[in-house]
């Protein structure tokens, strides 16, 4: 039970830190480069994330996951301190680097979190406890999104980013407590890694998995296009960096609230509707949200 409580707290803290970092970094990027530069930074994020995850995969086979998480959190905090100092010194491309940092660090920490969870719990326990982790993560996202909006208005966008440092320090401290748990569990085992070729082999053998992959790809493309349009609209409806940060934070907090609601309702939905119909409804829900955004784009004007 202690392990579950600590992992719930860790999920809350990690995603809270991200929702503090994301609106602030996006706002600073839009101020410096504008929404037209988003495709370029997204390409850089994809390349850097792929490289970092490759390095992580090599170390995860030999370094305990709790220690690896603590190391990653420490490196992330150190990089943020350096980048904030560079930004405040008006170093060119600092805003660009901050944008890349905020997307890469969360990928690594979330990847380690779920690797640790997969090694810690049997399938029977995972069926219910993973939903709890997701709910706590969404709750952390809500707190972070609303919190950064308030902090940006009171202290400024750049100063609000400093809050991420103690949050990452808290995640490191939670790792210390996880490490000190006496009872030996599966968490001390290292995850078994398969090659990319083996992964594709398993994927291609299942028509079901191929269709799910196709669904994920299509949804990600649509989400990226929506995200681009969202940033264009944010530029139109905000006058300064701090207002923009607050607006983005409030929108992401609302999204997290919706995510948490769906996570809490997932069990009953799957039980009464079934997996096939649920998967069928995902594009419909996404399409409805896109249609609503196209029909009433001025909702952003009141989101702040």
Q: Tokens standing for 165?
A: 């440092």
Confidence (pLDDT) at 304? 39
The pLDDT of 18-28, averaged and rounded, is 95
Residues 6+ apart with CB under 8 A from 179: 64, 66, 67
Residues 6+ apart with CB under 8 A from 290: 222, 226
Q: Measured between alpha carbons, how far is 61 from 38 in angstroms, rounded to an integer?
A: 35
Q: Tokens standing for 18?
A: 């991200």
Mean pLDDT (the chain, rounded)? 84
Name which CATH class applies to 2-183+238-272.
Answer: mainly alpha
Domain boundaries, the chain: 2-183+238-272
**pLDDT band (50, 70, 90) for residue 36:** very high
Q: Could you report the per-residue pLDDT of 140-174, keeping only the tens digit for each? A: 999 999 999 899 989 999 999 999 999 999 999 99
Q: Is this model's pTM higher than 0.75 or not? A: yes
């Amino acid at each position: 039970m202690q392990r579950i409580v600590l992992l719930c707290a860790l999920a809350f803290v990690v995603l809270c830190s991200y929702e503090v970092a994301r609106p602030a970094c996006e706002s600073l990027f839009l101020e410096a480069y504008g929404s037209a530069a988003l495709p370029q930074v997204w390409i850089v994020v994809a390349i850097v994330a792929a490289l970092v995850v490759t390095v992580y995969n090599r170390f995860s086979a030999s370094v305990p996951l709790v220690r690896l998480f603590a190391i990653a959190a420490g490196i992330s905090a150190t990089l943020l301190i350096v980048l904030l100092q560079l930004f405040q010194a008006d170093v060119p491309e600092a805003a660009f680097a901050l944008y890349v940092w905020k997307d890469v660090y969360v990928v690594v920490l979330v990847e380690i979190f779920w690797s640790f969870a997969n090694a810690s719990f049997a399938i029977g326990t995972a069926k219910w406890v993973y939903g709890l982790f997701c709910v706590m993560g969404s709750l952390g996202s809500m707190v972070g999104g609303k919190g950064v909006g308030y902090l940006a208005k009171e202290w400024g966008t750049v100063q609000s980013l400093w809050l991420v440092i103690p949050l990452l320090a808290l995640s490191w401290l939670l790792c210390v407590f996880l490490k000190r748990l006496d009872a030996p569990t599966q968490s001390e085992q290292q995850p078994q890694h398969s090659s990319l070729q083996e992964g594709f082999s398993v994927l291609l053998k299942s028509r079901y998995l191929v269709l799910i992959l196709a669904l994920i790809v299509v949804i990600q493309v649509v989400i990226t296009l929506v995200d681009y349009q969202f940033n264009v609209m944010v530029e139109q409806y905000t006058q300064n960096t701090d207002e923009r940060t607050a607006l983005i934070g409030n929108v992401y907090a609302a999204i997290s609230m919706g995510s948490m609601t769906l996570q809490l309702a997932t069990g009953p939905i799957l039980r009464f509707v079934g997996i096939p119909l649920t998967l069928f409804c995902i594009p419909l829900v996404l399409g409805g949200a896109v249609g609503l955004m196209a029909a009433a784009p001025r909702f952003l004007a009141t989101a702040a």
